[in-house]
Amino acid sequence: MNKKDIRKGIVPYVVLLILMLGIVYFFNVFNIKVNELTYDKFMASLNNNQVSELTITPSIDGGVYSVTGKLKGYKENESFKVQVPISEEVMKKITEAESKYDFKMETKSDPNSSMWLVVLFNFLPIVLVGILMFVIISKQVGGNNKSFDFGKSRAKLDDSSKKVTFNDVAGLKEEKEELKELIDFLKNPKRFQKLGARIPKGVLLVGPPGTGKTLLARAVAGEANVPFYYISGSDFVELFVGVGASRVRDMFRQAKHNAPCLIFIDEIDAVGRQRGTGLGGGHDEREQTLNQLLTEMDGFGANEGIIIIAATNRADVLDPALLRPGRFDRQVTVNLPDVKAREEILAVHARNKILDKNVTLGNLAKRTPGFSGADLENLLNEAALLAVRRNKDAITMSEVDEATDRVLMGPAKKSKKYTDEEKRLVSFHEAGHVVLGLKLNSANVVQKVTIIPRSYAGGYAMMVPKEEKYTQTKKELLEQITGLLGGRVSEELNFGEITTGAHNDFEKATKIARAMVTEYGMSDLGPVQLEHQSEGVFLGRDYNKSRNFSDIVAHEIDEEIRKIVGECYKKATEILKENADLVKLIADALLERETLTKEQIEYLVEHKELPEDTTLEDMTLEELRELAKEKEIKGYSKLNKDDIIRLLEANDVDASDVTDKEDKDEDKE
């Protein structure tokens, strides 16, 4: 905590203390009882020995004495005051009484000192409290409270010391090529002005979440070494109409003063949605903000050195006026990374992580199709957390496998116990998926299968395509549906019963079949598109497909979907009947091991049994020494075989480490 924060934390307590002292002083001062005595009564009390204290002060005008004091029998907060004429006779009577009765008497010669003391003790605390209250209220209204700062831009200037460059952005080769032109313009605008070229005013980055759109914008600013303003689209929208438009004006005003610069608007669809398409009226504040944004983008000159980069994953809902030439002239699609880009992204995120020798990023990239850059970063982070939890010095494939499962399905529910019958049923269900993946050429390949429950699934098979392609044939789609139905078919064939475990498989299969009929033209209804995304951008997802067909055609669509799924179900039944022994073999292996990898499944199919677990006792002395050397265990060179085995076991090393090493060598070959 810095000194400024400490001062801010102490100020309220100081104010509270002063207020408490003021309250105490108030009660002490205003609870004092002062009795006004006449001159005769004062002289009678003086002569009757009733005075206990006396203070004589000459008045300011010099005509009388101001006498204060206490009489015997007074309370602690009770006193009297009286004014007596200034004369030698009066002073003589008071002096004689003081000598006779010996009470406490004090004479003050400076009347002004009494006046200043009265002012000091009566008015100064009130003045101090007033000043403190004024300072506190001023700070709340002016500095900390933004009540009067509505119209100021919320755009923040990125002043971080570490600049992001294209070296920090893995993959996205084509996207970076598109943006290099902007960097050249920001560095040397005269080169473009000389030939009359107009650089795009705005660039729209479109792509799924987590693909690196924000990172790409930061890298452009870092490469060009220009100021980088960043803001979210929701920061423009405010409760009061006109505030968002004011913020837009202020943002462009700041940008013009710092040109050349780059403005990044994240999630621009929050403010840039189409106007006039909402049900039940528009949104005045958002639409005014959008109008001001359109005006500002059209208003500043073509080569003022201000470039706007915006990001969204919903380009279809943006207002057409935003996308016309002169505003967001260029759209750059940032897609999910392919296998090569995934390997590069993993290499970037693995820079500060210690990976075991058996972890190869190339194999990991092949096992993660459909993962975005954010997913890959999260995968390695989860693996690192698991390695720390297990007290390991490096991240091994065991942690990577578990992290992949966590990202896809959540943590394993090891405390959830199956009944024997339920465990057997899940094993045959997953074995059905595996066999169809092996027997169908175009179906997804099972990379890993497990009957350990995760999330809402009792078990799952990690299925990945054999190769990543931009298009898919009708045969490939049908075989994918067939593979998805393998679990339900296996249940029915082996138990004569069906369960709810295939609900997610049916959801995926039905979605593929419906797309084949209504979007891809792969049915008897012909090559027509019957459904497409509608333009009603403010409608919910359930209403987001337009129907350009009659009820009769809708019935035919349902019949075609049912026909496709039915034929795939029949084909899956035939294949699993022909390979009933293989289904049972894989199911029994799952019951024994609970989890099987692709390599174990292939070995099982070829040899009809799982590979035997190698033990340390089965290894030679040279192999044991090599293993101890690889694991950096000291003191093994002069030990015999039994002692080395005990040393390895003490360091939690077993023969599975040898298996991992052999798998790695095979991958290299």
Q: HSE of 526 in the Cβ direction (CA atoms, 13 Å)? A: 2
474-484 and 551-578 helices, crossing angle to 10°: 70
Do 404 and 368 touch, CB atoms closer than 8 A?
yes
H or E element, residue 406: helix 397-409
Distance (Å, rounded) from C-alpha 273 to C-alpha 310?
13
Amino acid identity at 98: E
Place of tokens 């490939």: 476
How do strand 64-71 and strand 306-312 relate by DSSP bridges? unpaired
- Find the helix or strand (DSSP H, E) in which 581 lies: helix 580-593
237-265 in b/e form (b: 16+ CB < 10 A) is bbeeeebbbbbbbebbebbeeebbbbbbb
Q: Which residues face 114 on adjacent strands?
A: none
81 alpha carbon, distance to own chain's centre: 73
Report, in angstroms and rounded to the nearest whole number, the Rg of the chain calculated over CA atoms. 43
Structure token pair of residue 289: 């903000």
Strands 460-464 and 531-533, by their bridges, are: unpaired
Question: Contact, 483 vs 436, CB < 8 A?
Answer: yes
Active-site residue (options: 430, 479, 491, 560): 430
Per residue, the 3-state secondary structure of 623-658, as one string, reads: HHHHHHHHCCCCCCCCCCHHHHHHHHHHCCCCCHHH
Report the alpha-carbon distance of residue 221 to residue 177 in Å, rounded: 15
Tokens of 489: 């078919």
Count of CB atoms situated within 10 Å of the CB of 310: 28
Concerning whether 626 is annotated as a catalytic residue, the answer is no
- Alpha-carbon distance of 458 to 487, in angstroms, equals 12
Dihedral angle computed from the Cα positions of residues 539, 509, 441 and 494, in that order, rounded to the nearest 10 degrees = 160
Q: Which helix (DSSP H) or strand (DSSP E) does residue 504 occupy?
A: helix 503-518
Cis omega (within 30 of 0) for bond into 527: no
Closest CA to 412 of 554, 595, 653: 595
Query: b or e along 468-500 (b: 16 or more beta carbons within 10 Å of the residue's beta carbon)?
Result: eeeeeeeebbbbbbbbbbbbbbbbbbbeeeebe
Q: ∠ CA(93), CA(96), CA(102), 5° rounding?
A: 130
Q: Are 327 and 297 in contact (CB under 8 A)?
A: yes
Provide the token pair at 383. 């693996």
How many Å apart are CA 197 and CA 175, to the nearest integer?
Answer: 21
DSSP E strand boundaries for 235-363? 261-266, 306-312, 328-333
Catalytic residues: 430
